[in-house]
Amino acid sequence: MLSYERFVENRRLRRFVLLAIVIIFFYLMRGMMSLFLLTFTFTFLSVQLVRFVQKYINIKPIWIITPVYLVIIGLLVFAVTNYVPMLANQTMKMINSLTKFYQSKELSSNQYYQFVYSYIKQINLDNQIKSGLTQVINYISTVGAVGLNIALSFLLSFFYTSQLDQMNAFGRRFLTSNFDWVFKDLNFFGKKFVNTFGVVIEAQIFIAIVNTVLTTITLAVMKMPGLVALAFMVFILSLIPVAGVISSLVPLSFVGYTVGGLRYVIYILIMVAVIHSIETYFLNPQFMSSMTHLPIFLTFVILIVSEMLIGTWGLIIGIPIFIFFLDILGVHSIGKGKEKPKSELPSDS
């Protein structure tokens, strides 16, 4: 018992042990990491919106967040009902046109086409197409799983934010429980991570705005229809670092093919490649560096390494995790853009 009391009194040791347990827990639950991070992101943004509104109007969170979520759902329903049928229709047209071309007399009578056809037979393209279709089906199932995670995270964030006061009151009970030191230390770590994560989310929103403006200007020059809906879609997808820009390629390509054929698809490919390069090699390091007060070189290295280790999510949480550990070590903190003096660092009693 005396050893336990000494352990509890040694704040530095107990926090180190607790942090190691938390890291092991998330490693074991890494299969649900997307659900955790999406829920955390949606909840963080929702709570920030509620706190911002409550600065000016004393109103319960549910009356703030419900209209916002209803508007988002309405916009998503509008986009799905208007653009998914169009995408499906264009896909069928492309398949039909390829089938007619494959069965046309022009193909059978043209010696150049026959040469290509014989070459296709030699490379066994049929099996490659079947393999490609299998990969496409697997990709669609993966997209479906991601969509389910997004829907669950969206729903969970709504329930949490709509009962924000009750959740906070319930959480405070743990701070006075028999093992209050555990939850006080978890609260200590949580506040530090939320602080750094909020800065990165703010940077990603700026990046999404820049991406949306550049894309919208290009689409306006190309005279694409439904510009407002397309801009909204690009903004939402741009909130996903790097991968979001690439994800917008498919719907934009279909719409571009409808308007200007293959030529517009090539234009969109060039546009996405340029914007993807701007985001990866300029916007991400520059915005992250200016908001986290880290050297651009270090920011760039963290983004590269975290993307290799964690994947796309590493571009979001890589820098917060790095700054979180720097903050714990007392090396660097981004609280209000200034380093914390040593007097503000937690003491180790």
CA–CA gap between residue 333 and residue 335 (Å, rounded):
6
CA–CA gap between residue 312 and residue 303 (Å, rounded):
10
Q: Which two tokens stand for residue 348?
A: 């180790």
Q: Name the pTM for this structure.
A: 0.66
**Which amino acid does the sequence have at 282?**
F
pLDDT given for residue 158 in this prediction: 92
pLDDT given for residue 345 in this prediction: 40
Q: Which DSSP string do the residues of 273-313 spell out, in sequence order?
A: HHHHHHIIIIIHHHHHHHHHT--HHHHHHHHHHHHHHH-TT
Rounded to the nearest 5 percent, the helix, strand and coil shares of the chain are: 85, 0, 15
Q: For residues 69 and 184, is the Cβ–Cβ distance under 8 A?
A: no
pLDDT given for residue 313 in this prediction: 73
CA–CA gap between residue 235 and residue 96 (Å, rounded):
33
CA–CA gap between residue 203 and residue 286 (Å, rounded):
9
pLDDT given for residue 340 in this prediction: 44
pLDDT given for residue 279 in this prediction: 74
Of 333, 315, 316, which is closest to residue 324 (Cα–Cα)? Answer: 333
pLDDT given for residue 159 in this prediction: 92
Residue-level pLDDT, tens digit, the chain, 349 residues: 678 788 888 888 898 999 999 989 988 887 787 788 888 888 888 998 898 899 888 889 999 899 989 988 887 787 777 766 766 676 666 666 656 656 666 655 665 556 655 655 555 545 555 554 455 455 445 555 667 778 888 899 999 999 888 998 998 899 888 888 889 999 989 888 888 887 777 777 888 888 888 888 988 888 887 777 778 778 877 776 555 666 677 777 777 777 777 788 888 888 888 887 887 777 777 777 777 777 778 877 887 888 788 776 777 778 888 888 888 887 776 654 444 444 344 444 4
